């Protein structure tokens, strides 16, 4: 086997603990659940997972070291992410002026795309991947990239389960309370606040 079963058993709870820690991915799924419902929340979690697997693949190929060694590239990716999150915040605020029944819900495809882009434009994720996963990789057992992908899949699937659950819960709460036009506006503002907070968090990250 490429991965020792005992190592995998040690990795799984560590990965789950990380997934249960509130962070940008969880808050993004929560925001999408509030904005567009359970299907969009699950799609956003799927996009986040897909973006995470791209980071894992790059780390396994050794490209993460390039990002870490070139602060200019790191910052360029980071500021793209900041700009995109702020754009999402503005879009959420614009919807507060619409009647909720006519406000366009985010499609599953759009939610998946947004989740993937938010994940891919956070360069800290690839650096975290390089710091966390190699602790469990055994170069003597076979291809390092394949091991990275196995551990990344475990981490990603756990994250999708947790983030989807959070988003579905938020969407159920939002759907229950959205009969109030005032609350519909509040939902848009909460979503905008979440996206703006994520942008601020990403902007304030220390340089690599």
Residue 114 lies in a domain: yes
Residue 151 lies in a domain: yes
DSSP 123: T
Give the integer Cα–Cα distance in Å for 104 and 56: 34
Give the integer Cα–Cα distance in Å for 89 and 95: 10
Residue 208 lies in a domain: no
Residue 3 lies in a domain: no
By residue range, what is the domain housing residue 58?
Answer: 24-203
Give the integer Cα–Cα distance in Å for 148 and 152: 6
Residue 15 lies in a domain: no
Residue partners of 119: CB distance under 8 A and separation at least 6: 25, 47, 48, 50, 51, 52, 55, 125
Residue 6 lies in a domain: no
Give the integer Cα–Cα distance in Å for 63 and 68: 9
Domain count for the chain, please give it.
1
Q: Tens place of pLDDT for every residue, the chain, 208 residues?
A: 788 888 898 888 888 887 887 777 888 898 888 888 899 999 999 999 999 999 999 888 876 567 667 767 767 767 877 887 788 788 777 765 444 444 456 789 999 999 999 888 877 787 778 778 887 888 777 778 888 899 999 999 999 999 999 999 888 776 565 556 676 677 678 778 877 887 887 788 666 5
């Amino acid at each position: 086997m490429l991965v020792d079963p005992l190592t995998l058993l040690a990795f799984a709870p560590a990965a789950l603990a990380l997934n249960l820690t509130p962070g940008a991915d969880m808050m993004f799924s929560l925001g999408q659940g509030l904005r567009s419902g359970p299907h969009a929340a699950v799609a956003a979690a799927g996009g986040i997972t897909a973006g995470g697997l791209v980071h894992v693949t790059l780390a396994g190929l050794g490209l993460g070291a390039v990002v870490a060694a070139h602060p200019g590239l790191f910052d360029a990716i980071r500021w793209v992410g900041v700009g995109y999150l702020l754009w999402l915040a503005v879009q959420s605020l614009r919807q507060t002026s619409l009647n909720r029944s006519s406000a366009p819900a985010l499609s599953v495809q759009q939610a998946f795309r947004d989740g993937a882009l938010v994940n891919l434009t956070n360069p800290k994720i690839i650096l975290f991947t390089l710091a966390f996963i190699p602790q469990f990789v055994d170069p003597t057992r076979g291809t390092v990239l394949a091991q990275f992908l196995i551990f990344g899949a475990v981490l990603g699937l756990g994250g999708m389960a947790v983030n989807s659950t959070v988003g579905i819960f938020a969407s159920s709460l939002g759907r229950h309370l959205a009969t109030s036009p005032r609350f519909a506006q509040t939902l848009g503002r909460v979503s905008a606040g979440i996206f703006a907070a994520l942008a601020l968090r990403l902007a304030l990250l220390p340089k690599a």
